[in-house]
Amino acid sequence: MTALDLEYAAVRTFLRDIHELRHPSGTVYERGIFESAELEWQITLAQTGIGNAISAIETARALDCFRPDIAIFVGIAGGLESMQIGDVVAADYVYGYESAKYTETHQSRIKTFGSGYPLVQRARAVRRHEEWHKRISSNARPRAFVGPIASGEQVVAGRNTPTHQIIEVHCGDTYAVEMEGWGFLFAAHTNGDVPAIVIRGISDLTYDKTPENDEEHQPRAAEHAAAFTFELLATLEGSEAGQVKPFVPWQSRQRASPSYSPSELS
pLDDT greater than 70 at residue 159: no
Residue 65's CB: how many other CB atoms inside 10 A?
16
- For the cut 70, the answer to whether the pLDDT of residue 263 exceeds it is no
**Structural domain boundaries in the chain:** 72-239
CATH class of domain segment(s) 72-239: alpha beta
State what percent of residues in the chain have pLDDT above 90: 58
Whether 183 and 59 have beta carbons less than 8 Å apart is answered as yes
What mean pLDDT do residues 116-131 have?
A: 95
Residue 45 CA to residue 2 CA, distance in Å, equals 8
**pLDDT tens digit sequence for 227-260:** 999 999 999 975 445 566 666 665 555 555 555 5
Instruction: Report the pLDDT value the prediction gives residue 123, as an integer from 0 to 100.
Output: 97
The band of 117, judged by pLDDT with boundaries at 50, 70 and 90, is: very high
Q: What is the pLDDT of residue 206?
A: 77
Where does 67-110 have alpha helices with state H?
A: none
What is the dihedral sign for C-alpha 37, 74, 228, 112?
negative
Write the pLDDT tens digit of every residue in 12-27: 999 999 999 999 889 9
Full-model pTM:
0.85
H/E segment holding residue 213? helix 211-236
pLDDT for the residue numbered 76: 96
